[in-house]
Structure 1
Amino acid sequence: MDSANSREVLSDFIDLYQSFPCLWKIKSADYYNKHAKQIAQDKLVEKLKECDPNADRESCLRKINSLRASFRKEFKKVQASYKSGASTDDIYKPNLWYYEKLLFLKDQEMPGRSRSSLEEESFEREMADDESRPKNRKRKAPDPTEELVKLAYKRLQQPQDDSDILAAAWAVELRKMDPQQQLFAKKAINEILFEGQMGTLHRNSVEINVSRVSTP
């Protein structure tokens, strides 16, 4: 795009910016309206894309800050020349072609720290918040497998005693059995554990494959 067209787009961009007081006027009713600001920002980005196809909110912010900084610099020179008591002919004349278009910002300037600086920082924070905020992102449900792995990893980090080692060895042997034998083994183990918790185990508590002959 040639410079003439770029200048025309920039002129329209400034007009559009002026039409959204929520972005620059502290006393605007919508100054703290985040939804209104977001709509305004999106409109400005669309306009800026007419001369910069890669424009986004960040580049839009840089463009606004650049325009306002240049205007502020020239505005201060004009004000300084008035205060110096210079004659009408000696009043500083800004070189910016868009200086007159940005005069709507002059009431936002004040001694010390300018209001425009405050507005730019607010605008920047709004953009940063919008960029960092998840867009309709739903909270992902926990993966059971992942949770199990985390639990196992945590368990492995803990020191093992003899019972842990013995149980792991039994688990290995249990997996070698066919399903029916596993059921028998689990039943026997559960009964032994129960008796042990009751304190009734003794040396002859377990009998394996003992033939029982019924008597008449």
Structure 2
Amino acid sequence: MDWTDDKSLQLIELYSERSVLWHAEHPHYKSHSKKNEAWCDIAAVIAVDAGEAKRKMASLLATYRKVRHKVLKLREKGAGADDLYEVTWFAFESFSFLEQSYQPRPSRQLIKSEDDDKALAVRARRKRKCGSVSSEDSQAPASDCTAQLSIAGPRSECGEFEAVGINVAAKLRRMDPEQQIHAEFLISKVLKKGLLNQLTEHCDVG
């Protein structure tokens, strides 16, 4: 399809009207099915394949981030109004709706701190479960506790799968909107192959 400027602006407008696709606070933001429905609606309006609409939006979002980055850098340097970067890209203003949900990426130190906190929380839950087995075991080191849990029951009782889910969700929140779309699509494909017992060490999920 030939994506004219007008067609691209129409795509952006339709995308902005469906905040489930880009607003992390939307109640169905994590629903893969709801997002697919939104993309199908968009595709039907502009008469293109949903996959093509997604790819075009990903391209537009990437350009928007680059232009926005230049503008913010000049503002940080304290440039005057006359010196500000002149935005000539046709779609920049159309993406203004993203400003309400835009979150700066956390520093590496903050990410490490968050991951450490999550790991401590998981270990604390394991220790509490071990403590319920016997009063003597409550004094055992965390490593012994983990070993006891592995023998006592399935891993799901230890909350390991839940912890993985929380960790994946946290990383998705730190991604840009179009990267979230690609990541969710690939995760869905991996899970489907796993349920069908098709996963191998060299499995291609592209």
- Provide the TM-score with structure 2 as the length reference: 0.52
| Paired amino acid for 1:60 | A
Q: Which residue number corresponds to residue 187 of structure 1?
A: none
| Paired amino acid for 2:175 | S
Q: How many residues align?
A: 127
Q: Which residue number corresponds to residue 201 of structure 2?
A: none
CA separation in 2, counterparts of 1:75 and 1:42? 28
Q: Which residue number corresponds to residue 124 of structure 1?
A: 182
The Cα offsets for residues 113-146 of structure 1, whole Å up to 9 and x where unpaired, read as 896834323322444537x969xxxxxxxxxxxx
CA separation in 1, counterparts of 2:46 and 2:181? 17
CA separation in 1, counterparts of 2:57 and 2:28? 19
CA separation in 1, counterparts of 2:88 and 2:74? 15
Tell me, yes or no, if the aligned pair for 1:13 and 1:47 is still in contact at 8 Å.
no
Match of 1:89 among 65, 82, 95: 82
Cα distance, 1:36–1:133 mapped onto 2, change above 3 Å? same
| Paired amino acid for 2:89 | L
Kindly state the Cα deviation for residue 41 of structure 1 after the two structures are TM-superposed.
Answer: 1.2
Identify unmatched segments of 5+ residues in structure 2: 108-171, 194-206
SS at match of 1:108: coil
Tell me, yes or no, if the aligned pair for 1:109 and 1:115 is still in contact at 8 Å.
no
Are 2:73 and 1:80 equivalent residues in the alignment? yes
SS at match of 2:10: helix
Tell me, yes or no, if the aligned pair for 1:82 and 1:91 is still in contact at 8 Å.
yes
CA separation in 2, counterparts of 1:93 and 1:116? 29
Are 2:4 and 1:40 equivalent residues in the alignment? no
Query: Following superposition, which runs of at least 4 residues in structure 1 exceed 6 angstroms of deviation?
Result: none
Match of 1:110 among 85, 89, 104: 104
Kindly state the Cα deviation for residue 98 of structure 1 after the two structures are TM-superposed.
Answer: 0.8
Identical columns (%): 24
CA separation in 2, counterparts of 1:69 and 1:123? 13
Tell me, yes or no, if the aligned pair for 2:39 and 2:50 is still in contact at 8 Å.
no
Cα distance, 1:44–1:28 mapped onto 2, change above 3 Å? same
Cα distance, 1:81–1:115 mapped onto 2, change above 3 Å? farther
Tell me, yes or no, if the aligned pair for 1:81 and 1:92 is still in contact at 8 Å.
yes
1:1-12 paired onto structure 2 within 5 Å: 6-12=4-10
- 1 or 2, which has the higher helix percentage? 2
| Paired amino acid for 1:7 | D
| Paired amino acid for 2:12 | I
The Cα offsets for residues 156-192 of structure 1, whole Å up to 9 and x where unpaired, read as xxxxxxxxxxxxxxxxxxxxxxxxxxxxxxxxxxxxx
SS at match of 2:30: coil
CA separation in 1, counterparts of 2:94 and 2:174? 16
Identify unmatched segments of 5+ residues in structure 1: 135-216
Cα distance, 1:117–1:63 mapped onto 2, change above 3 Å? farther
CA separation in 1, counterparts of 2:2 and 2:19? 30
CA RMSD of aligned residues (A): 3.0
CA separation in 2, counterparts of 1:122 and 1:86? 33
The Cα offsets for residues 60-88 of structure 1, whole Å up to 9 and x where unpaired, read as 22211111110011111111111111111
CA separation in 1, counterparts of 2:23 and 2:180? 11
Cα distance, 1:43–1:126 mapped onto 2, change above 3 Å? farther
